[in-house]
Amino acid sequence: MSTNGISYGLRTGVQHDENAPTNLKEHHQPTKAVPAKQRKVLGVIPDSSLNTRQADPKTLRSVKSQPEEEDEEDYDVSQFVNEPMSPIMNDRIVQEITRAYIKHSKDYLDPTDEDTFDVSMVAEYGNQIFNYLHELEYKYAPNPRYVEEVQNELTWEHRATLMNWLVQLHARFNLLPETLFLAVNIIDRFLSVKTISLSRFQLCGAVALFIAAKYEEINVPTIKQMIYMVGDQFTIPEFLRAEKFMVEVLKFEFGWPGPMSFLRRGSKADDYDNEVRTLAKYFIEVTIMDPRFVASAPSWLAAGAQFLARRMLGRGHWTDLHVFYSGYTAEQLEPLAEAVEECCLRAAAHHQAVYEKYSERRFKRSARYVRDYLEALYQEE
Q: How confident is the model at residue 118 (pLDDT cuts 50, 70, 90)?
A: confident
Q: How far is CA 87 from the centre of its chain?
A: 17
- What per-residue confidence (pLDDT) applies to 63? 30
CB 277 within 8 A of CB 285: no
- Strand-pairing partners, residue 22, are 27
**CA-wise closest residue to 203 among 177, 179, 178, 232:** 232
Looking at this protein, which amino acid is placed at residue 364?
Answer: K
| Close Cβ partners of 202 (under 8 Å, ≥ 6 residues apart) | 44, 45, 162, 165, 230, 233
% of the chain at pLDDT higher than 90: 70
Reduce the DSSP state of residue 27 to 3 states and report it. Answer: strand
pLDDT in tens, 248-299: 999 999 999 999 999 999 999 999 999 999 999 999 999 999 999 999 999 9
- What per-residue confidence (pLDDT) applies to 262? 97
Measured N-to-C along each axis, helices 201-216 and 236-249 cross at an angle, to the nearest 10 degrees, of 70
Maximum pairwise Cα distance, the chain: 68
DSSP per residue, 221-273: PPHHHHHHHTTT-S-HHHHHHHHHHHHHHTTT------HHHHHHHHHGGGTS-
In this structure, of 63-67, 141-145, 151-155, 354-358, the range with the lowest mean pLDDT score is 63-67
CATH architecture of 94-140+257-380: Orthogonal Bundle (1.10)
* Cα–Cα distance, 367 to 372 (Å, whole number): 9
- What per-residue confidence (pLDDT) applies to 64? 33
pLDDT in tens, 179-235: 999 999 999 999 999 999 999 999 999 999 999 999 999 999 999 999 998 889 999
- CA dihedral over 239, 242, 244, 250, signed as positive or negative: negative
Q: How confident is the model at residue 51 (pLDDT cuts 50, 70, 90)?
A: very low
In this structure, of 69-83, 124-138, 325-339, the range with the lowest mean pLDDT score is 69-83
Reduce the DSSP state of residue 162 to 3 states and report it. Answer: helix
Residue 60 has pLDDT above 70, yes or no: no
Residue 13 has pLDDT above 80, yes or no: no
DSSP per residue, 70-87: --------TTS-------
Count of C-beta atoms within a 10 Å radius of residue 341: 18
* Cα–Cα distance, 229 to 210 (Å, whole number): 12
Mean pLDDT of 132-154: 97
- Cα→Cα distances 41→45, 142, 158, 267, 286, Å: 12, 30, 20, 36, 24
Residue 304 has pLDDT above 60, yes or no: yes
- What per-residue confidence (pLDDT) applies to 114? 79
CB 187 within 8 A of CB 205: yes
Residue 75 has pLDDT above 90, yes or no: no
Residue 6 has pLDDT above 60, yes or no: no
Q: How far is CA 50 from the centre of its chain?
A: 22
> How much is the mean pLDDT over the chain?
83
CB 66 within 8 A of CB 209: no
Residue 169 has pLDDT above 70, yes or no: yes
- What per-residue confidence (pLDDT) applies to 264? 94
Domain residue ranges in the chain:
94-140+257-380, 143-254
- What per-residue confidence (pLDDT) applies to 43? 52
- What per-residue confidence (pLDDT) applies to 121? 85
Looking at this protein, which amino acid is placed at residue 241?
Answer: R
- What per-residue confidence (pLDDT) applies to 109? 87
Q: Which fold has domain 143-254?
A: Cyclin A; domain 1 (1.10.472)
**CA-wise closest residue to 306 among 284, 338, 288, 291:** 284
Residue 311 has pLDDT above 90, yes or no: yes
| Close Cβ partners of 170 (under 8 Å, ≥ 6 residues apart) | 179, 180, 183, 209
- What per-residue confidence (pLDDT) applies to 240? 97
Whole-model pTM?
0.80
